[in-house]
Structure 1
């Protein structure tokens, strides 16, 4: 990837955030990031040791994502450290290739700096630029109020609620299904 494909943003604490597409060479660092996030946040769908991909599996996955025009794997970095990710995938069949779902995470020590917002804005710009994506969906824990507020502020609307979607620390947790239509047609 050309460095011109990177977006640089000065955060409110003065640090420089870089947003860029993931590359196969990021596989090992991404697996370390995923393990860290799995251990520090109950807002993701896995716990420590549950991801189950080898470095080679992750390399292959990242290569495949890069070749699909309706998929995105975004990395947020500060001073070379992966501090957040956002992944989006749309359907592959003609009837569903216009719609997809994303997931995102940010390392706890970088919460409340606007990184999630910047990644989300990147996703929306990218999706509109594809000429294909017309709807973006997400699932968010019903008790993750900061994330819900961010999504609402960016224009996502509540479309439903799923009970018992997650089972964490012996408790069931529901999720809201939210969506944004990019083109009303």
Structure 2
């Protein structure tokens, strides 16, 4: 059941008069999203893949985007600035009835737009979307233990530490641990 107060397309003004638009991804975004993924793979070691490792064709990405759009417990959020993709947030839940209320998300932002508040805006969107879904009751994430800015944001948004996962990443011949964090979601009244 949709809550009438949730807007799927949202607009914000950031520092330096930058205009941010948050919206669900569309199948026609496939090519641009794959270029975005390749760009962030080369800019950040906080993602689970490096340059050339993502491994999806444009048609596979288009199919995936259609599936996400048709699944009420999945979200692929695009953050745009000046018509270009500045960031994404993806969330998917379990498929079976016993686990479809819980899922994990990941956020990626182009380095040019780090520290402008885009991550916080996308997280707020996700939390509001989850509350109005009538289904999602728990948001989970994994974050490198040395990614202090992300950890600070998650804590500020109410996420709590639920554990530490050893050797979660292997980058440059070194293992890196991750924190598992979660946020319990209370539904909006009437959903």
Category of TM-score, reference length = shorter chain: over 0.9
1:144 alignment counterpart = 147
Which of 18, 22, 34 is the aligned partner of 1:19? Answer: 22
Please show how residues 101-120 of structure 1 align to structure 2 within 5 Å: 101-120=104-123
Distance 1:162 1:59 in 2: 32
Runs (4+) off by over 3 Å: none
1:92 CA displacement: 1.0
1:156 alignment counterpart = 159
1:13 CA displacement: 2.4
1:130 alignment counterpart = 133
CA-based RMSD of the aligned residues comes to 1.0
5+ residue gaps, structure 1, are none
> 1:21, 1:75 within 8 Å by CA — same for their partners in 2?
yes
Distance 1:152 1:84 in 2: 20
Q: Does 1:92 align with 2:95?
A: yes
Distance 1:19 1:44 in 2: 21
Report the TM-score, using the length of structure 1 for normalisation: 0.96
1:49 CA displacement: 0.1
1:5 CA displacement: 3.5
Q: Which has the higher contact order (CA 8 A, sep 6+)?
A: 2
> 1:13, 1:113 within 8 Å by CA — same for their partners in 2?
no
1:169 CA displacement: 1.1
Report the TM-score, using the length of structure 2 for normalisation: 0.93
1:160 CA displacement: 0.1
Distance 1:13 1:46 in 2: 31
1:12 CA displacement: 2.1
1:36 alignment counterpart = 39
